[in-house]
Structure 1
Amino acid sequence: MIERECSGDKSLHDEVGALLRTEGNGLQADSGTGPVPRIAGSMRSRLSIVSPTASRSRTRSQMLTAVTRTIGNQGQSALAIVLAMLILSAFIGWAYINVRASLRSIRADELRLLVATSVAAVESYIELEKANVHAWSEKERLREAVYQLTTDSNGDAQAARATIDEVLAGIMGHQPQYLIFGETNRVLAASSQYENALGRRSAADGSALITETLSGKTLILTPILHENMVEGHAVDLMRPEMPMMLPIFAPHDSQEIIAAMYLRGIGMEDRFFELLQSVRVGLSGETYAFDQKAIMISESRFNDTLRSIGLIDDRDDSYSCLSVQIRDPGGDLTRGYRLNTPVAAQPLTKMAAFATAGENDLDLDGYRDYRGVTVVGAWQWLPQYGFGIATEVDYAETYGPMKNLNLAFAAIGVLILGSIGFIIYSARYMARMRRQASNVQNVGPYALGRLLGEGGMGQVYLAQHALLKRPTAVKLLHPENLNVESIARFEREVQLSSKLSHPNTIEVYDYGQTAEGIFYYAMEYLQGITLSTLIRDEGELPVARVIYFLESICKSLREAHGLGIVHRDIKPQNIMVCQRGGESDVVKVLDFGLVKPMQSNDHAKITRTMGVIGTPLYMAPERIREPSSNDPRSDIYSLGAVGFNLLTGHDIFNDVSDFDVYFHIINTVPPRVRDLAPNIPPELDQLIAECLEKEVGKRPESVVAILNRLQALPVQWTTAMAEAWWQSAYAPKSSP
């Protein structure tokens, strides 16, 4: 039939066939007199209404209409899905690139911080030891004994040397090992180990050191195993040691340098090695020191491995210090590679080559270390001491997370279609939940009013109890935070806060869940200002008022700590001053959202232990090093930081980035309050300094101890003073 009606026209035949395949419910045809009714019959009846002379043009028009309708109903959905897939794929690719870049950036920051921390620790230790040893040389009996040896050739040299032994033994606590050189570079006095050196001249290695010391410098020498300070008197040491050179002055506070003392057996090397060994990260990270010749001058983390691959002697008492050269062997010795060239002919590692040339840098792309293992690293050269410090981590460990990342993104690619459906469903669900939250007018017995503020977990509204008509602050949990962890944390915040009843702590009234599933709790509504706003508007505050504020905060924390609760986020933004119950300057401690019980078996299920939660500027050092730390003395550190801010109008570390804040909190001693506010009582300055101690054990043992010391200070903030300030600055407001 189709062949007959198409009269042998192949193109028309194909078009009709396409219509039969794609449009089985009817066609719409146009005529000059109006629309033709839709036909739902067989193909024969549809063809019978088309005249033979118009069949070609009308059939083509009908086909285009059908195709358009098909695209509109089905193709558009498919196109939207394909477009969404392409967009999602592009986003995944962009996210992958950015995550990889972020990981590199994080690794770079970690390496820089580790090297900077190591350098700061070593510099501080060396300068401290210099100062200590320099103080030894100022002992008057030591000066007089050395002076006698340099000026009185007929004097009792044996007695003078005995005096030197006695003075040094009293300082060091053991028999000293020393050489004292005069201005002619001859040995004037020596400990028993160097008796044969008396009267001899210094060796070439020692002459330059003696000359530099006689110019007034105290020198810390890099570790040595072979000593050659005196001609014909070389000594092989049992283990690496770090000797010192210090000038000896004439007696009676004279500034005349009369001799140079060479001193060893101090034990500096033990602390030097310990400082570097403490900065080890992960399974392969190590920090070590090296000299100008790229020889390691501290101990490697991998001594057992170095013995097995032949870089140091295979003995239990062998050292990598002064035995390992930082050179590239050309392959991974830990995986069976064998050296083809002598060690001296091998090139320096990339790190050693740059560092010994005085260039401080880092490398995230990977280079071979002295084992031949590919590592990433950062380094810094210390020209004042003649050595460098490097931190290196195996490349495989550094970028190990990328393997999981690659698998994760591959899985995402396979599940794109499912992801699109989930995203659309989630977006609609979240939009509905947001609309429900934004449209909520009543939660439990509370009628919501205006929005007061919004935090990380939820929104706070001014509300009114339906029966009591009491103004109340109601906090709603964000719908997008509705998961097991956030609900548990929300409940914990309410339950712990509800235990607190001190007048200086915000009071929790009620807690519940609406029919729509929105969690909320109600607390007292406060009209006042936070300490951060007060500092912004007023600058530093009167000492008496600060003491009063600190006493009030201590009273709130005294109750909390007594119940086994640590606040963990004491800061000016979380302390409010208000007029309440006819009283002025009523202090309220807010936001127990980060509170944590001192004894908790399930807290790790609620708070991510690897995440640092809190405000960096007011966070105790132990909270940064160990975020799960739960010592009430962390609140004492934060209290000290608040006191510093109130007394000076400044934070303890000003004008530093968030990243630098962490470094300074851990490593930098805060300034004293009296440096910025010299008129405050020295007792208060000392108390604030003790609260800001880096070590927990050096802080006041409790807020009760702080409260007692504050109350003993001879200044007082009176009710009249408080009322006068509020009348002049913040007029009382009527309750809503």
Structure 2
Amino acid sequence: MNPLNLFRRSTRPSPPPQAHMTWASRSISKTVTRTGVFLKKQLWIWPIIAVVILSVIGFGVRHAIETTIKANVSSGLQSLVTLETEMLKKWFAVQESTAESLANDAQVRQTVYEILQPGTVPGAAVDVAPTRDLHSKLATELAAAMAAHDYVGYIVANKAKHIVSSSHAALIGEQNIPEYETFLDRALDGDTIVSPPFPSVVMLKSGDGRNRMGVPTMYACSPIRDASFQIIGVLGLQIRPEREFTQILQLGQVGTSGETYAFNSEGLMISNSRFDEELILLGLLPDREHSQSMLELMVRDPGVDMTVGERPEVRRSQLPMTKNAAEAIAGNSGLDVDGYRDYRGVSVIGAWTWLPKYGIGLTTEVEASQAFRPLVILQRTFLLIYTLLILSAIAIFVFMVVVARLQRQARAAVIEAQQLGQYTLEGKLGEGGMGVVYKGRHSMMRRPTAIKLLHADKIDENSIKHFEREVQITCQLNHFNTIAIYDYGRTPEGVFYYAMEYLDGIDLQELVRKYGPQPERRVIHILLQICNSLFEAHSKGLVHRDIKPANVMLNRRGCEPDVVKVLDFGLVKAIEPQTHHTMLGGGGGLAGTPLYMSPEAIQAPMSVDARTDIYAVGAVAYFLLTGEPVFAAAGLTELCQKHIDEAPVPPSKRGNTNVSSDLEDAILSCLEKSRAKRPQTARDLAQLLLRCNEAKRWTIEDGDRWWGRHERGSGGSSRSDDAADSPAAVEATLDLTQLSSENEDKDKDES
């Protein structure tokens, strides 16, 4: 890049802040407008937007409901485990009170004294025979209370933990029974205590009525004291845990899966599970009649959900305890509503506590799926809504595609039928990126007409807006040298078209291509007419922005030869203050044909004015005289850079071109880099041309002779830039984004 040019750029003053604010405001406005048009057009996007909005709302609602449910469930679980604990404590207190009352009963104490007296010393073997009557007497004294409180037996132990009396004869004389050690020690230390359930060491009736060993049992124990309040033994009242202890815990069953159960310090369940039948099927309990989980089931985490057929890979004794059991045995009361696995591997939520006095853990659990059932219903409801909305979006999208295809087919059918409203189509004149031009004839006036249609498969909001804008702009112009618009419409099938005057001539691009550079006097004659057309447009505040040889038609109109018609106002930009932002065909981007584009149109497209068209007219004149464009380049970037930096070679020094100095000066003044140095209006340029020696030298006779010697053009058409241009033209549709967008902010040249 030219260092001098860089210096010029760096020394230019920065645009005022208001300019940046205006540009930003305009950009935001365009973005909002385009977004609104897109949403209005693409109906299928609304269900997707609804899905997104519902997802956000659903997430918030789900979070709120989940938080509320968890809070309620937490409160309920905590309340339930607290209630169960208090009920159990009350029951323990009743058992302890009864045991303490009987242990302190005068008759019972006296009988126990007598049993302990007959010459025995602590630790010696007990001789039952001499005290047989005393055992019967003690049994009689305890019978009423035992019956009232549903005790099934008793034991009396001395300080050496010998069983000196019992309702089970097999126990009398036994010492240091492991199952009795803990609660006997506690009682001998002075505590009244209720033991956790444990397997009986004597034959007891089980649930099926048979006498068995290992039947669950528990004792309420209290110390027996002598007259000096010294502990001399222990009275233990035998309890069947399934009668009251387990029944209290079963009150904690909630819904279809909630349960409350107890376990000891080894993690062994000491109450019954509500899932005993299921546990048998899972292989966690033996498959026999009256099989129960009490004292049979270890509260351990299998690591998998066994209810769905999965099985752990290690023995149960090697599995870790469940979270609630491990926490409770560690002495920690707690709560978990996020979910953990129970002894079946099922995800549950629960609360737990530990009763250190009794060595019992108590927990209440509910399956997570039951606890959060409302949340699951909500999720399924939202999922159903999401599915319906997505299906709606797909259905609408498919419907729109089908409708669009049918509309294209209908438009194509209309064109194929060669009938467009009041116009009959006779043949195609040209075709471009956006539209097609046909020769047609009005059914009533029979006047030859050129009809421009939008491509059937390229009709959208932007193309329609572009099309309508082109018609509206051109209709404002009435000069004889500007193409005339007759009609604009849309068929019921959605074919947009406008009718314009039919030009049976040749465009300047084709003129030079076929017949070479033109004589100076004829070039002046053509340029004057272009200036006349442009002066009217500029007077109305419109800039053409795409003046080039292919957009200027040379015709014979009536008896007048060499009549110029300026075409294609599709890229017109309004420059009035009130419509400063109105631009067709590109917003703030580059628009035009690079071979004929002014420096400011490349560097700052938003700043173009009438002098931009003057530059293009100079480039057209250069082409007409020399048969070559002002600049030639290998690529688009190089071409644009030459327009910005490089001075053009005078036409007289290009080949064998003979150009008078006055016309050459006029053309080079149009091609000045600074707009301030160019003719300021099209009329100013026309005055310069009229002062040339060759002005007014091209006569009607010259024109008639030329048209008489040569063909009447390339087939005759009223065309816009959408019609096929010659290969020499570099179209504006090329990718111009290689040019730095910073050029858009360049200041206008000082006038």
Question: Above 0.5 in TM-score?
Answer: no
Larger RCO, structures 1/2 (Cα 8 Å, 6+ apart): 2
Larger Rg: 2
Question: TM-score, structure 2 length as denominator?
Answer: 0.42
